[in-house]
Structure 1
Amino acid sequence: MFTTGQLVFTIFFIIAFVTIIYFSYKKDKRLHARQYGGSIKILIGFIFFLIILLLLKSWVKS
């Protein structure tokens, strides 16, 4: 299925990728908190809007 070289490359790639992403996020943590602080309100509003659409769809369909 996969050669030993491909599996070794995949393992090293995943380890390197996760490490880079972790340190990049850790470095920008304060910046993200400042710029995306109100994003949870938008997420809740979007989910609420989708629930309303689904309820209206089921109400109109029946």
Structure 2
Amino acid sequence: MFTTGQLIFALFFLVAFVAIIFISYKRDKKLHLRHYKGSGRVLIGFILFLVILLLLKSWVKH
């Protein structure tokens, strides 16, 4: 399937990718908190909207 070299490369790539993403998020955390202050409520509203649509779909179907 995969050679040993490919598996080692994939492992190093995964570790490096996760580390870079973590460092980038840590660096931008203050900026995200300032600019995306109400995004949690928007996400909850969107999920609630989808649940209502699914409930209406199942209610109309029967």
Does the alignment reach a TM-score above 0.5?
Answer: yes
Q: For residue 35 of structure 1, what is the aligned residue in structure 2?
A: 35
- 1:60 paired with 2:60, answer yes
TM-score (normalizing by structure 2)? 0.91
Please provide the CA RMSD for this pair: 0.9
* Alignment partners' CA distance in 2, 1:16 and 1:58: 45
Identity %: 69
* Alignment partners' CA distance in 1, 2:14 and 2:38: 32
User: Which portions of structure 1, spanning 4 or more consecutive aligned residues, are displaced by more than 2 angstroms?
Assistant: none
Long gaps (5+) in structure 2: none
TM-score (normalizing by structure 1)? 0.91
* Count of aligned residue pairs for this structure pair: 62
Long gaps (5+) in structure 1: none
- State the 1:30 CA deviation: 0.2
